Amino acid sequence: MQLVKTEEKKLADYVSFLEKETIQELNYFAKLMKGKKVAMVNATSFGGGVAEKLHSMVPLMQDLGLEVDWWTIYGEEKFYQVTKSFHNCLQGQQGVLKEDDKSIYLDYNCLNASYLKNWNYDFVVIHDPQPAALLEFYEKKESEKWIWRCHIDTSCPNMSYWNFLYQFIKKYDASIFTMEEYVPQDCYSLPNVAFIAPSIDPLSAKNKTMKMDEAKHILKHLNINVEKPLITQISRFDPWKDPLGVIDAYKKAKEVIPDLQLALVGSMATDDPEGWGYLFKTLRKAGEDHDIKVIVNTGDREVAALQTASDILLQKSLREGFGLTVAEGLWKGTPVIGGNVGGIRLQIENGITGYLVNSVEECADKIVTLLQNPDLMKKMSLAGREKVRKEFLITRNILDYLRLFYRLAITGKPS
């Protein structure tokens, strides 16, 4: 396992975004939890939403007086091939968990658990399926509280995979899901279930306010015509994100808006070996349409520019644990059209902060509606930013964790 270093952050820099009551509550729980030792454990330090959140959450918790370490597990390609199947099947994909895959999964969790012998933490937060079995191979101290944090949509899981995973997570002191509906219906026997929505860091390189002139200058370097309308989806190249459906929606909308452009932007994470294959499918689908820009592994500054200068942002997911890019887009005042699924529904109030859609045709129709109604776009942009400020900033996420830590420490229960 590897310890991840993060850049220093100060809560004082975030005060301007917060209500007075939120600041008081953060300071109250931080004082109660001061000096507590916390370990965050996940699969990768870059390339996904979990890693992105931890790069902000860990240093801010440290600034509040907690001793927080962030660890990533060791894995090789065969392990990540297996855990990618876990990800897909826990979100409902068909398939049967093979004995060989079980062995690979358990072998790597056992290997990583061998590094934990000298651990001394009050709280251990294990993120997602990849390291969920660590607890099986670790002699947990009575004073430790282990928490499993599920970031994906497990509302209708493939039971072959869920039942295998459940034998491990039921041993945790608590588990966190994004939404109540993500807890499989027959699994409410999980101890101490809590619900915490993800969040964005308004002061990260990706989310800091960027002037429109600067954003357009960056888009020009990405070979995007800033004089023509632009729709953008920023996400992994993954079948659940439906980039192929995005291209179909763009083509239908282009029949009405002939100069429309589409940007598909994604990063390739180390724990997603399927990503390259789906990228190639996306490139083949785009073909020789020069108004489609497929951009891979670009920096935060370029992503911020795309989210700022695009006319509309898409997140046309078919299944989605949360979809941080929705909150990122709304924070920048850009209307978002998202799939009517999972955590996207927490962020988009249909017709108020954006649109929720159920099909390619509906997505295309809403693209045209927005581009033809600039006053509506402006109204949505203001409503979207305010919703994110109130509900989806990193400070709120930290407060939710502090409340959970305190309740587990005092009562053994999250509420």
**What tens digit of pLDDT does each residue of 118-133 get?**
899 999 999 999 999 9
Q: Any residues with CB less than 8 A from the CB of 29 and at least 6 apart, and which?
A: 399, 402, 403, 405, 406
DSSP letter for each residue of 193-247 = EEE----B-TTSTTTS---HHHHHHHHHHTT--TTS-EEEEES-S-GGG-HHHHH
Q: Which positions ≥6 away from 115 have C-beta within 8 Å? A: 1
For 163-204, the pLDDT digits (tens) are 999 999 999 999 999 999 898 876 557 878 899 999 999 999
Which helix (H) or strand (E) covers residue 397, if one does? helix 394-410
Residue 334 identity: T
Residue among 214, 309, 218 at smallest CA distance from 261: 309
Of 231 and 95, the structure prediction assigns the larger pLDDT to: 231
- What pLDDT, on the 0 to 100 scale, is given for residue 321? 82
Going by DSSP bridges, is the β-strand pair 312-315/336-339 parallel, antiparallel, or unpaired?
parallel
Residue 405 to residue 410: CA distance in whole angstroms: 9
Sign, CA torsion 18/24/25/28: positive
Q: Are strands 67-72 and 123-127 parallel, antiparallel or unpaired?
A: unpaired
CA distances from 127 to 47, 71, 409 (A): 15, 11, 20
Phi, psi at 127, each rounded to 5°: -100, 120
Q: What's the whole-model pTM score? A: 0.84
| In contact, 29 and 66? CB cutoff 8 Å | no
The 10s digit of each residue's pLDDT in 60-86 is: 999 999 999 999 999 999 999 999 999
Q: Which residue has the tokens 């001394």?
A: 120
DSSP string of 81-138, one letter each residue: HHHHHHHHHHTT------HHHHHHHHHHHHHHHGGGTT---SEEEEESSTTGGGGGGS
200-223 burial, b at 16+ Cβ within 10 Å, e below that, comes to: bbbbbebbeebeeeebeebbeeee
- Mean pLDDT of the chain, nearest integer: 92
3-state secondary structure 137-187: HCCCCCCCEEEEECCCCCCCCCHHHHHHHHHHHCCCCEEEECCHHHCCHHH
Mean pLDDT, range 280-305, rounded to an integer: 92
Q: What is the pLDDT of residues 215-238, one digit of tens each?
A: 999 999 999 999 999 999 998 888
Domains in the chain: ranges and CATH: 2-199+393-410 (3.40.50.2000), 212-391 (3.40.50.2000)
Cα distances (Å, whole numbers) of residue 79 to 103, 106, 129, 304, 371: 10, 9, 12, 33, 44
Compute the average pLDDT of residues 153-160. 90
How many residues make up the chain in this entry? 415
What integer pLDDT is reported at residue 160 of this predicted model?
92
The predicted structure's pLDDT at residue 46: 78
330/195 Cα distance (integer angstroms): 22
Tell me the per-residue pLDDT of 385-404, one tens digit each, with 9 for 90 and over: 999 999 999 999 999 999 99
Q: How far apart are CA 284 and CA 292, in angstroms?
A: 11
pLDDT at 110 over 80: yes
- 266: three-class secondary structure by DSSP: strand
